[in-house]
Amino acid sequence: MKKILITGAAGFIGCHLALALAGRGDQVTGIDNLNDYYDVKLKNDRLERFAPHGNFTFRRIDIADRKAMDDLFHEGCFDVVVNLAAQAGVRYSLQNPYSYIDSNIVGFTNILEGCRHNGVAHLVFASSSSIYGMNAKIPFSVHDNVDHPVSLYAASKKANELMAHAYAHLYGLPCTGLRFFTVYGPWGRPDMAYFSFTKAILEGQPIDVYNHGNMKRDFTYIDDIVESLVRVIERIPQPNPDWNKENPDAGSSYAPYKLYNIGNNQPVDLMKFIDILEEKLGKKAVRNLQPMQAGDVPVTYADIDDLAADVGFRPTTSIEEGIGKFAAWYRSYYDTV
């Protein structure tokens, strides 16, 4: 049994991971600020799923609150910290940039300091596929340079990776960063395209399809994300003995630091994705073709060879199966016919 802190526990990935870890017997503390970036009722309903688990404790805390985080770490004596709390969303970062600094920079600093001063054995933190920015070489590899983000959200995630590396170097704090690729599934985020598409299709409203549909995404089902996370938690990163400062590998380090992509390794055309969603919902979409939005990229595609080699797992859920499960959950949760 481990004592594990999960930040963002009322979020999409956080609630699924917390359920998996509590279900296997770990002592899980979850925190979240329950902000209104999207439907707070959905966040509270996610938390209701923990009622049967006596080994899960929830506290409403904002990671940007320095004193509250100091107190939490001092009291918690955590073995592992999984940071999934963040201000998410590429498009929202164009409208409200300060929220990304408060949560993703200030909040992450509080987490690093809490880990440093309280003997945490492993910090696992969420990065994003958005970090690849203008990179055109595919599939995206953690060993490639990622110095050209196209949104403040992506830049904040790049900053998290750099900050974590500094703490791994300075204080020997083992840190693992995870670049998630378009996570979807039941209990998902309403700001994600597949979620808003579903709502619009069932209500007979048009959907905005950007770049005239010429997009590909490495859609990754939530169960595959959680299985990867559970395995990564157990693998504390070690210094890479072959790291060469004259030819530095971006995905590892001389310090206890490691990066992984977590994606399905099978990009899907956006138009095909919409076709599958229509089939699972039993209703056609009205497609409103639009130009590319600022901060967006045409393709995401994860190279997951390192993940497979180190933790022995590759995502297995097909897009048809995953969208079918999401559509069934959506109809049930929102009581649609």
What's the rounded Cα separation, in Å, for the pair 144 and 151?
A: 19
Selected catalytic residue, list 38, 92, 153, 260 = 153
Distance CA 39, CA 184 (A): 17
Spatial CB neighbours of 169, under 8 Å, sequence gap ≥ 6: 253, 254, 255, 257
* pTM of the model as a whole: 0.94
Cα–Cα distance measured from residue 203 to residue 197, given in angstroms and rounded to the nearest whole number: 10
Q: Which residues of the chain have pLDDT under 70?
A: 295, 337
* Side chain identity at residue 230, one-letter code: V
CA angle 8, 71, 93 (to 5 degrees): 35
Catalytic-residue membership of 257: no
Residue 337: per-residue pLDDT: 56
Helix, strand or coil, per DSSP, at residue 101: helix
* Beta-bridge partner residues of 29: 5, 57
**pLDDT, position 328:** 96
Q: How far is CA 153 from the centre of its chain?
A: 12
Separation CA 168–CA 62 (nearest Å): 24
How does DSSP classify residue 153?
A: H
The distance from CA 300 to its chain's CA centroid, rounded to whole angstroms, is: 14
